[in-house]
């Protein structure tokens, strides 16, 4: 789960990472009052879970409280890369002498964490890494050992950061461990003209599997920019809204991702990602179909299931039962393969729904769903 910037800042402050004074609000009028408390000037920052806010007009310096109120009023409700700005953070401006980048990310393949640091902060670190890979230091961190004072000194030296950044690195590591994070980064970490180090912007991603231990970032902190995603989340579905016309249901993230590619290769655009996981009960299928059919952009639905632990006949029974409770208004193409596939196809044949079709291959089913969407 990604945190908003103001939530990451709150974490940093809790663990002793130096940050500027700041407050968050959803009211332009209150933004003016906050600016007065901050000394008059304020940096107004849109709170959305996406990068590139500055280029999109989501980060602006306001010269006085009146300008802060106007800026906040313009920013609240704006769209940034498909994310609606519902709150803004007002931060106290600082005089910057130098900008750096520091962060930790989980390296799943290697079974360890990766420390990344660069003396070139304040810009897209991906662009820096691509253009000048030598400008980004990458140091492996053994989770069992963590970031000690010596390790932090190694990272700062490799990246050419000031020695005092080592203390920030050890504190950020504590944030990562104590908060069950898989990503913690600061861009930029700045040195002010009076010699202080401050984390001006932060990004923190928590491990969803540890959410039960992180109650303060519970469901009340999760917002959805798309009502279908909110509806799916309420039903416990792993759903992501896309901009196409073919609704997709599959079992397993890898299979669903492959299905998206195959549908795109047939000249149609997927309307969503929906992984029903290892189970395909009638209720799960009914919930999935309800969400997908609620999308006005969907013209056809493709259910792609490979039976393994969950046999295809159980999946087919779930689909058949779901169709008894869901009003199917758009063509549905089903491809079943794997364990008990023949029995599953027979169950669907016996159901004989006028809008239900079957295909024996993924390519064939994708072509048919794409054609129906057109």
Give the highest mean pLDDT range of 117-131, 159-173, 342-356.
159-173
Residues known to be catalytic: 101, 185
The DSSP 8-state label assigned to residue 2 in this structure reads: B
Mean pLDDT to the nearest integer, 207-229: 69
Between the CA of residue 184 and those of 107, 113, 193, 352, what are the distances in Å? Answer: 13, 11, 26, 53
Residues 302 and 249 sit within 8 Å (Cβ to Cβ)? yes
Determine the pLDDT at residue 219. Answer: 47
Mean pLDDT across the chain: 90
The DSSP 8-state label assigned to residue 3 in this structure reads: P
Of the candidates 61, 2, 20, 23, the one whose C-alpha atom is nearest the C-alpha of residue 199 is 20
Percent of the chain whose predicted confidence (pLDDT) is above 70: 95
**Per-domain residue ranges of the chain:** 21-91, 96-217, 227-373
Is the pLDDT at 15 greater than 60? The verdict is: yes
Is the pLDDT at 122 greater than 80? The verdict is: no
Burial 34-73 (b: 16+ CB within 10 A, else e): bbeebebbbbbbbbbbebebeebebbbebeebebbbbbbe
pLDDT in tens, 259-301: 999 999 999 999 999 998 766 667 888 889 989 998 999 999 9
Determine the pLDDT at residue 51. Answer: 80
Return the minimum-mean-pLDDT range out of 91-95, 164-168, 192-196, 251-255: 251-255
Determine the pLDDT at residue 24. Answer: 97
**Domain 227-373 homologous superfamily, CATH:** Succinyl-CoA synthetase domains (3.40.50.261)
Of the candidates 354, 291, 344, 294, the one whose C-alpha atom is nearest the C-alpha of residue 319 is 344
Mean pLDDT to the nearest integer, 114-129: 82
188 φ/ψ sector (left φ>0, alpha ψ -120 to 50, else beta): beta
Please check whether the two domains, 96-217 and 227-373, share a CATH topology: no
Report the first-to-last Cα separation within the chain, whole angstroms. Answer: 36
Determine the pLDDT at residue 325. Answer: 84
Mean pLDDT to the nearest integer, 331-351: 93
pLDDT in tens, 46-69: 999 888 888 889 999 999 999 999
Tokens representing residue 291 in the block: 């969400």
Cis check for the bond before 371: say yes or no (omega within 30 of 0). no
Q: Does domain 96-217 have CATH number 3.30.470.20?
A: yes
**Beta-carbon contacts of residue 29 (< 8 Å; ≥ 6 apart):** 69
Return the minimum-mean-pLDDT range out of 99-113, 162-176, 227-241: 227-241
Tokens representing residue 362 in the block: 């993924």
Is the pLDDT at 222 greater than 60? The verdict is: no
The DSSP 8-state label assigned to residue 135 in this structure reads: G
Mean pLDDT to the nearest integer, 223-240: 81
CA dist 201 and 50 (Å) reads 13
In the chain the beta strands, taken as DSSP E runs, fall at 22-25, 42-46, 59-62, 79-80, 83-84, 88-91, 96-107, 112-118, 136-141, 181-192, 197-199, 202-206, 238-241, 246-250, 272-275, 300-307, 332-338, 356-359
Mean pLDDT to the nearest integer, 164-184: 95
**Domain 21-91 homologous superfamily, CATH:** ATP-grasp fold, A domain (3.30.1490.20)
**Beta-carbon contacts of residue 140 (< 8 Å; ≥ 6 apart):** 107, 110, 112, 113, 114, 115
Mean pLDDT to the nearest integer, 312-339: 90
Is the pLDDT at 309 greater than 80? The verdict is: no
Between the CA of residue 171 and those of 63, 106, 140, 272, 313, what are the distances in Å? Answer: 33, 17, 17, 39, 53
Determine the pLDDT at residue 220. Answer: 42
Please, is 290 exposed, middle or buried when counting C-beta atoms within 10 Å of its C-beta (0-12, 13-18, 19+)? middle
CA dist 40 and 34 (Å) reads 9
Determine the pLDDT at residue 224. Answer: 61
């Amino acid at each position: 789960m990604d945190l908003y910037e103001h939530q990451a800042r709150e974490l940093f402050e809790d663990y002793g990472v130096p940050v500027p004074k700041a407050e968050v609000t959803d009211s332009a009028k209150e933004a003016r009052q906050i600016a007065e408390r901050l000394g008059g000037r304020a940096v107004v920052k849109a709170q959305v879970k996406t990068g590139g806010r500055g280029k999109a007009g989501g980060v602006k310096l306001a010269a006085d409280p009146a300008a802060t109120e106007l800026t906040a009023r313009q920013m609240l409700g704006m769209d940034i890369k498909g994310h609606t700005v519902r709150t803004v953070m007002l931060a106290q401006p600082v005089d910057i002498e130098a900008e750096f980048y520091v962060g930790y990310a989980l390296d799943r393949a290697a079974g360890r964490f990766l420390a990344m640091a660069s003396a070139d902060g304040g810009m897209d670190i991906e662009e820096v890494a691509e253009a000048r890979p030598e400008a980004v230091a990458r140091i492996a961190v053994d989770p069992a050992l963590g970031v000690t004072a010596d390790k932090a000194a190694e990272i700062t030296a490799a990246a050419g950061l000031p020695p005092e950044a080592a203390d920030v690195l050890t504190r950020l590591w504590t944030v990562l461990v104590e908060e069950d994070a898989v990503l913690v980064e600061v861009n930029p970490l700045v040195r002010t003209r009076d010699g202080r180090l401050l984390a001006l912007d932060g990004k923190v991603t928590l491990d969803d599997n540890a959410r039960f231990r992180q109650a303060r970032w519970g469901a009340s902190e999760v917002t959805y920019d798309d009502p279908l995603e909110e509806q799916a989340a309420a039903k416990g579905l792993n759903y992501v809204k896309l901009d196409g016309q073919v609704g997709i249901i599959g079992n397993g993230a890898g299979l669903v991702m492959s299905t998206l590619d195959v549908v795109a290769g047939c000249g149609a655009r997927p309307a969503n990602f929906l992984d029903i996981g290892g189970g395909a009960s009638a209720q799960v299928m009914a919930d999935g179909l309800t969400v997908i059919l609620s999308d006005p952009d969907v013209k056809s639905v493709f259910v792609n299931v490979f039976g393994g632990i969950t046999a295809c006949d159980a999946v087919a029974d779930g689909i058949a039962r779901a169709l008894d409770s869901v009003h199917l208004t758009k063509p549905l193409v089903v491809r079943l393969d794997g364990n008990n596939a023949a029995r599953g196809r027979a169950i669907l044949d016996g159901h004989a729904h006028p809008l239900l079709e079957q295909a024996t291959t993924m390519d064939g089913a994708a072509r048919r769903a794409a054609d129906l969407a057109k």
